[in-house]
């Protein structure tokens, strides 16, 4: 029998009624002849509540104990779904991450998966033919025997990692939307649901602000070539919509130049004025930020006329803006910049599409279209299949709508 991994997010399991609805989705696949492993998140709002308790207990809490607390949300959901399935006459049992085991590093609170042993799950399917209901978001750091959590969105990563480990036919990620759209439908009502998206495109879309899938889950799916569907848990379980398939580029017959427009408001801009233009300065700026686990994205360097000084502009996540400024102020004498300027009222807008590889002038069209709308571009970055612009946050919706129409994404 083929094996299928199904993952359900927090809104999909927010109440017992929704958990019963999830069970009906699972039953449909069991009746279709699949061995099923289900990965669940905590009930909506529960993780935030548990995190709040940790912060109230101590502002500087032990992250190992933090993991012990916040991982309990998924444990509750997995047990409840197993009970509901059993009540429907479906053999099921709950599993915790350490029981599989999902092995992680020791970066508690944001651990990375280093391996998954699918032997126990596979044996479980063959011998008992039970649905495995797995608590997502968690694993074990085996050298210390401590439970570790994978960070926000970690249940997506759990699901794809398990699918790869047990050679599942596919991994279905159920959420509160019915697939991946060309852009945010709340901004562009004409946004279209995509039938298929290449792994590379989805990775860029996820990292550029699309909230449908967690970035690390897409990375795993791409590395292990796990076909992954994004589907809605709120569809009728008896007649669900197909959703969007995330797959290899070779599986997509007709590829548009631009597949989607993403945006991220979680951006802050930092500019260092008149930095000495000499070897080692860039390292002096960015190594301390890296050591503090601050992710730097767009980097622009402009050399002044006298060639002895340069301006360096870059972006960091908004949540890390104050920390980044404090670090840079602390190494002012080492870097020797004239002034530090910052802004949090910025947004990054990105156009993504593997079709850009074989078409020239794609980004240039966007720059002209944005200029025609009076939108000033603060910074630009490009890759083989995407370009991003940093603009004032006030122009977010106008920029997204402009680019969505420019590349013909409004049309069905």
**CATH number, domain with residue 286:** 3.30.2130.10
Are residues 62 and 39 part of one domain? yes
CATH code, 189 = 3.40.1160.10
Write down which residue in 198, 229, 250 finishes a domain.
250
So what's the pLDDT on residue 315?
Answer: 93
Write down which residue in 250, 282, 299 finishes a domain.
250
353 Cβ contact partners less than 8 Å away, ≥ 6 residues apart: 201, 255, 256, 257, 258, 259, 260, 362, 385, 386, 407
DSSP letter for each residue of 31-59: HTT-EEEEEE-PPTTHHHHHHHHHHHH-T
Q: In a structure prediction context, what are the per-residue pLDDT tens digits for the chain, which is 412 residues long?
A: 799 999 999 999 999 999 999 999 999 999 999 999 999 999 999 999 999 999 999 988 899 999 999 999 999 999 999 999 999 999 999 999 999 999 999 999 989 999 999 999 998 887 888 999 999 999 999 999 999 999 888 899 999 999 999 999 999 999 988 899 999 988 999 999 999 999 999 988 887 666 678 888 999 999 999 999 999 999 999 999 989 999 998 888 767 889 999 999 889 999 999 888 888 888 999 999 999 889 898 888 876 666 678 889 999 999 899 999 999 999 998 888 889 999 999 999 999 998 888 788 899 999 999 999 999 999 898 888 999 999 999 999 999 999 999 999 988 7
**Residue 333, both tokens:** 């004498």
**Alpha-helical segments (H) within 276-412:** 281-291, 321-330, 332-335, 362-372, 396-406
Are residues 283 and 177 part of one domain? no
Are residues 400 and 315 part of one domain? yes
Are residues 171 and 50 part of one domain? yes
**Strand (E) or helix (H) holding 158:** helix 154-165
- Please return the burial class of 121, using the count of CB atoms within 10 Å of its CB with bins 0-12, 13-18 and 19+: buried
So what's the pLDDT on residue 209?
Answer: 60
So what's the pLDDT on residue 227?
Answer: 95
So what's the pLDDT on residue 126?
Answer: 79
Query: 13, 47 in Cβ contact below 8 A?
Result: no
So what's the pLDDT on residue 212?
Answer: 77
Write down which residue in 203, 226, 250 finishes a domain.
250
Are residues 202 and 75 part of one domain? yes
Expressed as residue numbers, the domain containing 261 is 255-412
So what's the pLDDT on residue 304?
Answer: 62
**Residue 35, both tokens:** 């061995």
Global pTM value: 0.84
How many domains does the chain contain in total?
Answer: 2
């Amino acid at each position: 029998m083929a094996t299928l991994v199904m993952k359900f997010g927090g809104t999909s399991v927010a109440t017992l009624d929704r958990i019963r609805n999830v069970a009906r989705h699972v039953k449909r696949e069991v009746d279709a002849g699949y061995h099923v492993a289900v990965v669940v998140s905590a009930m909506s709002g529960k993780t935030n509540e548990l995190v709040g308790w940790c912060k109230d207990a101590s502002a500087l809490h032990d992250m190992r104990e933090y993991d012990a607390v916040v991982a309990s949300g998924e444990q509750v959901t997995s047990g409840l779904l197993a009970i509901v399935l059993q009540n429907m006459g479906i053999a099921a049992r709950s599993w915790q991450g350490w029981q599989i085991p999902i092995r992680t590093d020791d970066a508690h609170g944001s651990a990375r998966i280093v391996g998954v042993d699918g032997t126990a799950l596979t044996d479980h399917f063959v011998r008992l033919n039970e649905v495995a209901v797995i608590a997502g978001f968690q694993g074990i750091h085996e050298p210390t025997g401590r439970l570790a959590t994978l960070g926000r969105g970690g249940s997506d990563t759990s699901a794809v990692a398990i699918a790869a480990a047990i050679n599942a036919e596919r991994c279905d990620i159920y959420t509160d939307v019915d697939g991946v759209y060309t852009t945010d439908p709340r901004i562009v009502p004409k946004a279209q649901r995509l039938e298929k998206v290449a792994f590379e495109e989805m990775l860029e879309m996820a990292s550029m602000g699309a909230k449908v899938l967690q970035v690390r889950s897409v990375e795993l799916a791409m590395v292990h070539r796990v076909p992954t569907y994004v589907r809605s848990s709120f569809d009728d379980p008896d007649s669900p919509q197909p959703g969007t398939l995330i797959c290899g580029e070779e599986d997509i017959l007709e590829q548009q130049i631009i597949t989607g427009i993403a945006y991220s408001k979680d951006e802050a801009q930092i500019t260092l004025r008149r930095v000495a233009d000499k070897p080692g300065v860039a390292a002096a700026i960015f190594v301390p930020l890296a050591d503090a686990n601050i992710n730097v994205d767009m980097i622009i360097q402009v050399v002044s006329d006298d060639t002895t000084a340069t301006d360096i502009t870059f972006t960091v996540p908004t949540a890390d803006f104050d920390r980044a400024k404090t670090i840079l102020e602390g190494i002012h004498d080492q870097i020797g910049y004239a002034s530090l300027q910052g802004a949090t009222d910025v947004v990054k807008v990105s156009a993504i599409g593997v079709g850009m590889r074989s078409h020239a002038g794609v980004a240039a069209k966007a720059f002209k279209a944005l200029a025609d709308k009076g939108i000033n571009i603060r910074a630009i970055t490009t890759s083989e299949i995407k370009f991003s612009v940093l603009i004032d946050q006030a122009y977010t919706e106008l920029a997204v709508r402009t680019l969505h129409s420019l590349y013909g994404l409004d049309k069905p």
